[in-house]
Amino acid sequence: MFESLSQRIRAAVDKLRGRGRITEADLKATLREIRMSLLEADVNFEVAKNFVNKVQEKTLGQAVLESLTPAEQILSVVYEELVEMLGGEARQPLLKNEGNLWFMVGLQGSGKTTTSGKLAHFYKSKGRRPLLVAADTQRPAAREQLRILGEKIGVPVLEVADGERPETTRARLQQHLTFDYRDLVIVDTAGRLQIDQALMDELARLKQVLGPSETLLVVDSMTGQEALNVSKAFDERIGVTGLILTKLDGDARGGAALSARYVTGKPIYFAGVSEKIEGLEPFYPDRLAQRILG
């Protein structure tokens, strides 16, 4: 992901390197190329426009063009703005000493169950005591998938029954926690292929009853701008506190991942980078920006 975008941005800036003096027109031509490469990488239109406007404002304002190394300075402004677009400082989900309940939501196939397992594994390796909850009340196969993952990483899995009511799930969870102390409960909820009203109602009810400390939306970065519409719909209906982008190891153009923070207004906490249980990394805007600019 990001290879082609990365090559094009660098090529655009490299063209400036050969020039003795850079005019405002040269700068604008470079910015147009950067804007085109963002759009072709499937970056959201508003995000691309805003990005280029900010780079232009900063470079025109800072006597960059009169400096001895204008291309380097422009590149450094592009870097700053990329980091900003990706959310600035790296953020992590809220993790208290105890009483953490993370509610995982997302479409079926987004990587929600795999990511729940990855999170449990990640925090277990940091000394936490996670519990997984398989909360799909309609698909036994989804619960089984989480049970198998839990066995593999040595994390217990509490499974709901078919059609179980949220109040019953809450009571069973509380009961479990009285005999088996756990400081991080990760609830893998039902996913569907598309957003449907019944699913949203069910999720909203379960969320209300369980009262999570974080609601994490799992977004497949291979699915392009559609992923962001889905994100907005989940946020409006359920309320989301942060994002996890999956499949960043894929060969999609990457623009959806780059626009996710800006379009949803939510911090990106983690990125999924392989199918393996270890394939989850905290999301660092600065590292991704460095990778893109090479």
Binding site for ligand GDP (CB under 6 A): 106, 108-114, 191, 246-247, 249-250, 272-275, 279
Instruction: CB nearer to ligand GDP: give 207 or 247.
Output: 247
| Residues 6 or more apart whose Cβ sits within 8 Å of residue 167 | 209
Could you give the CA distance from residue 88 to residue 215 in angstroms, rounded to a whole number? 21
Could you give the CA distance from residue 43 to residue 20 in angstroms, rounded to a whole number? 32
For the bound state, the minimum distance from the C-beta of residue 6 to ligand GDP, rounded and expressed in Å, comes to: 20
Annotated binding-site residues for GTP read 106-113, 188-192, 246-249
Determine whether 163 is exposed, middle or buried from the number of CB atoms within 10 Å of its CB (0-12, 13-18, 19+).
exposed
For 132, the 3-state DSSP assignment is strand
For the bound state, the minimum distance from the C-beta of residue 274 to ligand GDP, rounded and expressed in Å, comes to: 5
Nearest to 116 by CA among 76, 71, 78, 157: 157
Instruction: CB nearer to ligand GDP: give 73 or 246.
Output: 246
DSSP character for 18? T
DSSP character for 223? G
For the bound state, the minimum distance from the C-beta of residue 146 to ligand GDP, rounded and expressed in Å, comes to: 8
Could you give the CA distance from residue 72 to residue 16 in angstroms, rounded to a whole number? 9
For the bound state, the minimum distance from the C-beta of residue 262 to ligand GDP, rounded and expressed in Å, comes to: 21
C-alpha 252: how far from chain center: 15
For the bound state, the minimum distance from the C-beta of residue 141 to ligand GDP, rounded and expressed in Å, comes to: 10
Instruction: CB nearer to ligand GDP: give 132 or 273.
Output: 273
Instruction: CB nearer to ligand GDP: give 111 or 267.
Output: 111
Annotated binding-site residues read 106-113, 188-192, 246-249
Instruction: CB nearer to ligand GDP: give 77 or 230.
Output: 230
In the bound state, the residue with its beta carbon closest to ligand GDP is: 272
For the bound state, the minimum distance from the C-beta of residue 110 to ligand GDP, rounded and expressed in Å, comes to: 4
- Pairing of β 280-282 and β 130-134: unpaired
Determine whether 228 is exposed, middle or buried from the number of CB atoms within 10 Å of its CB (0-12, 13-18, 19+).
buried
The amino acid present at 253, given as its one-letter code, is: R
Determine whether 204 is exposed, middle or buried from the number of CB atoms within 10 Å of its CB (0-12, 13-18, 19+).
middle
- Pairing of β 280-282 and β 268-272: antiparallel
For the bound state, the minimum distance from the C-beta of residue 116 to ligand GDP, rounded and expressed in Å, comes to: 8
Instruction: CB nearer to ligand GDP: give 56 or 114.
Output: 114
